[in-house]
Structures are given as structure tokens and as C-alpha cells.
Amino acid sequence: MKKVKSEKERRSGKKVIYLLGEGTGETISKIARASLVQFSREKIEVKTFFLVTDKQRITQITKQATEDGALVAFSIVQPALRDFLIQEAERQGIKAIDVIGDFIVQLSIFLNEKPLSIPGRQYILDEDYFRRIEAINFTVKHDDGKIPRDLKFADLVLVGLSRTGKTPLSTYLANQGWKVANVPVHPEMIPPQELFQVDQRKVFGLLINVESLVKLREARLKQLGLEPYAKYADSVQVSDEIEWCREFFKQNPRWRVLDISNKAIEEASASIISAYQTGKKLI
């Protein structure tokens, strides 16, 4: 039987993959990243759903996956929750892959031992764990320019125009244990003085091309229920902002500048960490 494309797939030309986990999603995210590098990411859209711990949430996600025509890859070790997801996927007519469950089953048979079925058991509450929790808390509190007086306590400071990926990139880095603050800039805004007083080697400016930024801002306006043709997403206005931002970054030569256009968050994160640790320029 020929598969009928979902409305989402017909509209975007992309196939959608859902990553679903009952914990932080770190395990399944790593597996997915390692697997997806074998394929063209331009044809794939990945959506993540983590900390999923109840059946009602699973029902909502599988229903949405049906609308997207998505493949669901999940990492759930609680038997009742895992079985319910599999049943819902079958009922909705979507494919669901138990990423680590099959391996656990085979280990159980081989070792002749019943698994503990405790989510996140692979994460020991050690010094590294608490360091990551501290980093996440710091990053959340210092998102979008909040509490500028604390910039000196950040490991990394990300600077950029609105919708240049500062928040998701900060969050991703925080999950790796980096305390990150991000500061928005704009031609009509005066940046906080603390930005120029911190160790300038840990400040990273984010740039993006006009086309990508326009699309991101149009999507944001649509999300807010506003007209997509507002000045915020006007291509001329956006181009002027980017040009201003380039000049602003040039005035601060010790900052490292990263062009995130068409870069996956994992790639951007790796570039920043490498540049910070080696002291090398990015662009």
C-alpha cells in the first residue's frame, strides 16, 4: 500500500521524527544524533518531548505525531508506560521504535535477571550531575539579558539579535554543564555595561543570514498570532539589523563570532566550546 503523505510533509517536504523520553532525553538525543549524521538533515525535522511521565501526555503526543506523519523514537523503561505508548502508536497507525528497550530485553534474557525499570538510572548523582543542575538553573535565570550584574559568574556569554538562537543554544550548553548567560542586542538598545567588564574571551557573538532570520521571525510572529509582515520580520529591516550587528561585533575584537546560519545546535555548541578551550577565532 502506498503511504499517504501527511499535510505537514506535503507542505514542507520534510519528514518528521519525534524523540520521546521520560527523563531528560539525553540518551535518546545522543543516539539520534549519531544516527542522523548518516542522512541529509535538510529533509528531516526533529521534535523532542522529554519528561513524559503520564498516559495523557503520551496520547497527546501520538495524536500530534499522526498529524505530522511522524516516526516516533522513544526511550521509556517503565513497562506500563512503554506498553501504553506502543498500543497508542498502533492505534494511531504510526511507527514507534523502542530505542533501548529491545536491548534491555535481550540483556535480561542473557543475564537471566529482571531489569530494575528505573528511569535515568545511568545518571549517578555525582559531582558532574550537580554541576549540570547548577548550570541549568543559572542559565534559566540569566536568559534574555536578565540580571546583568551576574555576567561575571557565567562560563559563557552569548550575544545576538532577537531570534538568533541564543536561548536554545544556551540551554543545550547548560545541559553539558556550562553556566551560560545570553544578552540580546539591537541598534536601539544600550547593552549593559557589565557585558564589557567580564572576561571578553568568554563572550560569543551570534550572526545569521537575512533569509534564515526572516523565516525565524515570521514563525515567531505567527506563533504569537500577529501579522507575518510586521517590521520585525521585514527583510530590509532585518538586513540593516544584521549589518549593524556585524559592526557592533567588530568594535569588540576580543569576542569570538559564530555564524549559526544552517548550523545544527550540536554543531554550534561544539564550535563554541572548542573556540573557548583553544582560544581560536571562529570567523
Residue 130 has pLDDT above 80, yes or no: no
Q: What pLDDT does residue 2 have?
A: 38
Cα 55 to Cα 52: distance, rounded to the nearest angstrom: 8
Q: Quick one: 19 and 80 in the same domain?
A: yes
180/60 same-domain check: no
8 A C-beta contact, residue 150 and residue 195: no
Q: How confident is the model at residue 186 (pLDDT cuts 50, 70, 90)?
A: very high
Q: Would you place residue 119 in the very low, low, confident or very high pLDDT band (cuts 50, 70, 90)? A: low
Distances (CA, A) of 38 to 35, 44, 74: 6, 12, 19
Which of 196, 105, 110, 115 minimizes the C-alpha distance to 148?
Answer: 196
Residue 131, domain CATH:
3.40.50
Banded pLDDT at 3 (limits 50, 70, 90):
very low
Same domain, 70 and 147: no
190 and 252, same domain (yes or no)? yes
Stated pTM of the model: 0.59
Strand, helix or coil at 20?
strand
**DSSP one-letter string for 131-151:** HHHHHHHHHHHTGGG--GGGG
Mean pLDDT within 237-253:
97
pLDDT of residue 97: 86
CB-based contact 176:156 (threshold 8 Å): no
pLDDT at residue number 152: 96
Per-residue model confidence (pLDDT) at position 132:
83
Report the pLDDT value the prediction gives residue 225, as an integer from 0 to 100.
83
Asked whether residue 24 is assigned to any structural domain, the reply reads: yes
Mind giving me the DSSP string for 236-265? HHHHHHHHHHHHHHHTSTTSEEEE-TT--H
Pairing of strands 180-184, 156-160: parallel
| 19 & 72 share domain | yes
Inside any domain, residue 120? no
- More reliable by pLDDT, 222 or 189: 189
Tally of structural domains, the chain: 2
* Count of other CB atoms within 10 angstroms of residue 133: 14
Q: Are residues 80 and 147 in the same domain?
A: no
Q: Answer yes or no: do 148 and 273 share one domain.
A: yes
Instruction: Clarify whether residues 12 and 79 are in a common domain.
Output: yes
CATH number at residue 29: 3.40.50.20
What integer is the mean pLDDT of 122-132? 64
- Residues 103 and 198 occupy one common structural domain: no
Residue 239 in this model has a pLDDT that exceeds 50: yes
Enter the C-alpha cell of residue 161: 539579535
Residue 96 in any domain: the answer is yes
Place of cell 527523563: 23
Instruction: Report yes or no on 1 lying in a domain.
Output: no
Say yes or no: 72 and 137 in one domain: no
pLDDT confidence band for 109 (50 / 70 / 90): low
- Are residues 154 and 268 located together in one domain of the fold? yes
Residues 269, 136, single domain; the answer is yes
With cell 515570521, the residue in question is 218
Residue 151 clears pLDDT 70, i.e. is over it: yes
Top-confidence residue, 246 or 13: 246
What pLDDT does residue 148 have? 96
Res. 118: pLDDT tops 60: no
- Kindly tell me the burial class for residue 156, based on how many C-beta atoms sit within 10 Å of its own C-beta (0-12, 13-18, 19 or more): buried
Domain that holds residue 38: 7-111
Highest-pLDDT range among 19-23, 225-229, 268-272 = 268-272
